[in-house]
Structure 1
Amino acid sequence: MTILATAIVLGVLIFVHELGHFWAAKAVGIEVERFSIGLGPKLFGFTRGETEWVICALPLGGYVKMGGMDDEVMEKIEGGELRVDSVEALVQSTDRHFDSKPIWARALVLSAGVIMNMLFALSVYTFLAATYGERHYDSTRIGQIVESTLPTGAEELATVDRASRFVRIGAEPVEHWGDIRRALLEGDAGPVRVDLAEPDRSIEIRIPATEAERRSLYESLFVWLESVVGVTDPGTPAGKAGLETGDRVLAVNGTPTAGWYDFVDQIQARPGEQVELSIDRGGSTLVQSLTLDAVEEPALDGRTRMIGRAGIRPSGIDMTYERVSLGEAMATGYRETVAITALILGFLGDLVTGDISPRSLGSIVTIGEASGQAAAAGLETFLSFMALFSVNLAVLNLLPIPILDGGHLMFLAIEALRGGRALSVDQKLRWSNVGFFILIGIMVLALSNDVLRLMGI
């Protein structure tokens, strides 16, 4: 199951990405010599028209080889020999070669793979919403309310206790988190009564008139999460201490945890300290000792503060489904795509700043495990994973690393800034070689992480 699921995920998404390049190249009149799924030596293929369609040995990517794009790095990718005798021969172009086209046309071709991956994700999320319904958290319980982002008129929400439940907002009953979202983002502006339970009480808030303030209000609320370990990041205190998926954190240094956000508050308040976590694991209680990392985080006043970090991510939450129209499904698909894009960009940002360990990077082994788990969970989960991974592929391809789409777009930006004077072929080759080895280094690091993880290190 895992091997088949991985082959489907990688095969489909690589094909979609390269198909974008292929269609765009054809649209602007560029010759396409080869369409490859996979890298390295060719396993098999066929020729149709001017294009050779091939499957290669390494399922780590793919490429569309266009007229005039022969170079040393491409030959390394293809696993063959250079078909030109000198760098100078590379500049001999025709009107159907890539470099003969205007900058806008080349930028379109280079961006088309990313665009196709994003459109694929949007289409899948839209299909899932139209078929299964819009997903909402199957909970009305409050995990946390961020007082600092509440708009004027909604300040009384800050007095609501953690674990309280929304019962009614205005005249509408609240049955799941989607009802809360709808009331705050789409309800009439003005004062509204909010009924709560556990404990029973009512408050009055004002629904803002502007979309920005409505979104700020909604995004100040976080659904209740149990203090249960979902994932431990490799190389972090929790990973080293041996915490496992499904462990329920009962207390930190003897202080009981009231849900996930209370647990996070207790951890963040102890940067660099050794703490003892009381854990429920399969009905047995045990104590795990770990020394927290101390990391720097921006504070609300513009300064920075030191917080503790254990390297734990929470477990999931049950979802419920609500039937929606096609238009609403498309809106849901768009929101999901934007949210996943922001999530991946945030991960990359945290990776750069050191907030997330490089040990979190995974190779094709991790992709395979995740693909297999998603497939085992059912069609909806598998398709959702494919959409997420498609966005991931799009974002990573835009990184400004020579050899990736983002690196080639960077070359075009330099050409545009220089008034149409491109980098020389020799310069592009040197930078592409640098990008090639950077990419290999990242792959080796990711694979090493997986090997160490499988060894329990």
Structure 2
Amino acid sequence: MEVIAFVVGVVLLVVGLAVSIALHELGHLWPAKAFGVRVGQYMIGFGPTLFSRRRGETEYGVKAIPLGGYISMAGMYPPSPKEQAARAAGERTGRAGGGFFATMVQDARAANDETLDGDGDPRVFYRLPVWKRVVIMLGGPVMNLLFAVFLFALLFSGIGVQTATTTVASISECVIPAGEERTTCAASDPAAPAAAAGIEPGDVVVEVAGQPVETFAEMTSLIRSSPGEPLTLVVERDGEQRSVRLTPASVEQPVVDDLGRAVTDADGAVVTETVGIAGIRQESAYVRQPIWTGPQTAVENVGAVAGIIWQLPVKVWETGATLITGEERDPNGPLSVVGAGVLAGEVASAEAPVLNRVAGLLSLLASLNIALFVFNLLPLLPLDGGHVVVALWDGIKRAWAKITNRPPPKPVDATKLVPVTFVVFIALVVMGGVLILTDIVNPLSLF
């Protein structure tokens, strides 16, 4: 059953990623059609086409490899004057001289020209005002951000956050002296304060020492700060409130910092403190959060992911180095779709309530959409951010020409940047390969 659950988790993540990709491409498709651009294809995935159907002028389909998607817009770039002249004369331009990159530029221009319907085609991307081109290119990443906000809102406001409540789940029978590793009570062990006070499982602690408490943290804070001091607790049982007298037992515990590490003094000895304990184990429940928690969490995740992606080459190098050194990976470092699938499988097969596993998968998918949002905003072709930069540069050139009373410049020909795009693409493939290999050999694990 555990293997089946693991596979189900991986499949659910793949489906979730396919939905994320579909929404990303819809974010490009909807404004493109709204602005009158002719869209030839809307495809989810790469490779051989599994299914497609044409509606109007657009072919909608699904391809075999669900690791991306695209829409094919007419005239992403302006036509090449030489090629347009040759096409008008019914001639073939042949291969460009100059080697590999020059050939790549020509091929990109030829592929772009095939989407044009003559030199005066008005329904092309490059003829749109700058702001419309920016809206189209930002539409995809924004859809990923909105999907992440929806998933986080569903997680925090629909399901809730698992929180320790003031409801008593169980009571310890005794207080085991510090330093002993046993877990069973001996005859000489004193009774736990909560058991001695008559507190029972199912009781809800509503007040400690005259102070109302709503969370387990508030309750334990008051008890820990009162070792050996009698306290009055008000508990609710069977719909009625009753008062009980409880004296927290005094125990020595190490002082810990914000990261849970033991604090030591100048001599390296562990610093301890005397705290009070009652022997109460709390009951956990899902507590729904305010509706703004989802968007707030999404924004916080954007900042965290941006910090990783901006240093992506360094982070990938450090991750890949663990293949040689055998060191543990940074849990906050990058991972591939394989690594994400492993985490999804572990979440789905964990020994936890179904709701916990659903919450884990939603959190993982939301985080991946944040990563898609940030990654696609990088100002590099072929990413969406690169196309935004090209559009803005075109707008700057036109604005400067207008300010200086010069003729409008020719549209920016981004096909000249194909060699740069190729280098970026190869770099992304190499980094993706390193992450996939690391996720197979030295995967991150929740446990």
Corresponding residue for residue 363 of structure 2: 384
**AA matched with 2:40:** E
Q: Distance in 1 between matches of 2:288 and 2:111?
A: 62
SS in 2 for 1:40: strand
Cα deviation, 1:83-141, whole Å, max 9, x if unaligned, reads 974877778462211111011000000001111111111122223334323x265389x
Higher strand share goes to which structure?
1
**Compared with structure 1, are the counterparts of its residues 363 and 415 closer, same or farther at alpha carbon in structure 2 (3 Å cutoff)?**
same
Give yes or no for the alignment of 1:118 onto 2:145.
yes
Kept in 2, the 8 Å contact 1:5–1:375? The answer is no
Q: Distance in 2 between matches of 1:171 and 1:322?
A: 22
Kept in 2, the 8 Å contact 1:34–1:64? The answer is yes
Corresponding residue for residue 47 of structure 2: 40
Corresponding residue for residue 38 of structure 2: 31
**AA matched with 1:378:** R
Query: In the TM superposition, what is the alpha-carbon distance from 1:197 to its structure 2 partner?
Result: 4.2
**Compared with structure 1, are the counterparts of its residues 362 and 355 closer, same or farther at alpha carbon in structure 2 (3 Å cutoff)?**
closer
Corresponding residue for residue 259 of structure 2: 261
Q: Distance in 2 between matches of 1:351 and 1:115?
A: 21
Q: Distance in 2 between matches of 1:350 and 1:447?
A: 18
Q: Distance in 2 between matches of 1:170 and 1:50?
A: 72
**Compared with structure 1, are the counterparts of its residues 15 and 85 closer, same or farther at alpha carbon in structure 2 (3 Å cutoff)?**
closer
* Length-normalised TM-score, structure 1: 0.56
Kept in 2, the 8 Å contact 1:70–1:90? The answer is no
Give yes or no for the alignment of 1:67 onto 2:74.
yes
**AA matched with 2:224:** E
Structure 1 segment 359-370 matched on structure 2, within 5 A:
359=320, 360-370=333-343
Corresponding residue for residue 213 of structure 2: 173
**Which sections of structure 2, spanning at least 5 residues, go unmatched?**
1-7, 79-105, 167-206, 228-253, 267-282, 321-332, 350-355, 400-408
**AA matched with 2:59:** E
Q: Which moved more, 1:23-32 or 1:96-105?
A: 23-32
SS in 2 for 1:423: coil
**Compared with structure 1, are the counterparts of its residues 346 and 48 closer, same or farther at alpha carbon in structure 2 (3 Å cutoff)?**
same
Query: In the TM superposition, what is the alpha-carbon distance from 1:258 to its structure 2 partner?
Result: 3.7
SS in 2 for 1:200: coil
SS in 1 for 2:259: helix
SS in 2 for 1:114: helix
Moved over 4 A (4+): 81-93, 167-172, 194-197, 349-356
Structure 1 segment 19-418 matched on structure 2, within 5 A:
19-69=26-76, 85=110, 92=119, 94-133=121-160, 135=161, 137-138=163-164, 172-176=212-216, 196-200=222-226, 258=256, 261=259, 263=261, 320-323=285-288, 328=290, 330-349=291-310, 351=312, 357-359=318-320, 360-376=333-349, 378-418=357-397
**Compared with structure 1, are the counterparts of its residues 36 and 176 closer, same or farther at alpha carbon in structure 2 (3 Å cutoff)?**
farther
Q: Distance in 2 between matches of 1:96 and 1:264?
A: 66
**Compared with structure 1, are the counterparts of its residues 200 and 386 closer, same or farther at alpha carbon in structure 2 (3 Å cutoff)?**
same
**Compared with structure 1, are the counterparts of its residues 197 and 33 closer, same or farther at alpha carbon in structure 2 (3 Å cutoff)?**
same
1:429 to 407, 414, 418: 418
**Compared with structure 1, are the counterparts of its residues 426 and 385 closer, same or farther at alpha carbon in structure 2 (3 Å cutoff)?**
closer
Of structures 1 and 2, the one scoring higher in RCO (CA 8 A, sep 6+) is: 2
Kept in 1, the 8 Å contact 2:257–2:263? The answer is no
**AA matched with 2:396:** L
**Compared with structure 1, are the counterparts of its residues 426 and 265 closer, same or farther at alpha carbon in structure 2 (3 Å cutoff)?**
farther
Kept in 1, the 8 Å contact 2:39–2:57? The answer is yes
**Which sections of structure 1, spanning at least 5 residues, go unmatched?**
72-80, 141-166, 181-193, 202-255, 270-317
Corresponding residue for residue 174 of structure 2: none
Q: Which has the larger radius of gyration?
A: 2
Kept in 2, the 8 Å contact 1:168–1:174? The answer is no
Kept in 1, the 8 Å contact 2:316–2:334? The answer is no
Q: Distance in 1 between matches of 2:441 and 2:301?
A: 28
SS in 2 for 1:434: helix
Q: Distance in 1 between matches of 2:381 and 2:443?
A: 32
Q: Distance in 2 between matches of 1:380 and 1:87?
A: 44
SS in 1 for 2:50: strand
SS in 1 for 2:398: coil
User: Superposition RMSD on alpha carbons, in Å?
Assistant: 4.1
Q: Distance in 2 between matches of 1:70 and 1:21?
A: 16
SS in 2 for 1:47: strand
Query: In the TM superposition, what is the alpha-carbon distance from 1:380 to its structure 2 partner?
Result: 2.6
**AA matched with 1:52:** E
Equivalent pairs counted in the alignment come to 300
Q: Distance in 1 between matches of 2:415 and 2:223?
A: 70
SS in 2 for 1:29: coil
**AA matched with 1:436:** F
Query: In the TM superposition, what is the alpha-carbon distance from 1:259 to its structure 2 partner?
Result: 6.5
**Compared with structure 1, are the counterparts of its residues 397 and 136 closer, same or farther at alpha carbon in structure 2 (3 Å cutoff)?**
same
Give yes or no for the alignment of 1:442 onto 2:431.
yes
Kept in 2, the 8 Å contact 1:37–1:61? The answer is yes
Q: Distance in 2 between matches of 1:30 and 1:88?
A: 15
Kept in 2, the 8 Å contact 1:350–1:356? The answer is no
Q: Distance in 2 between matches of 1:38 and 1:382?
A: 22
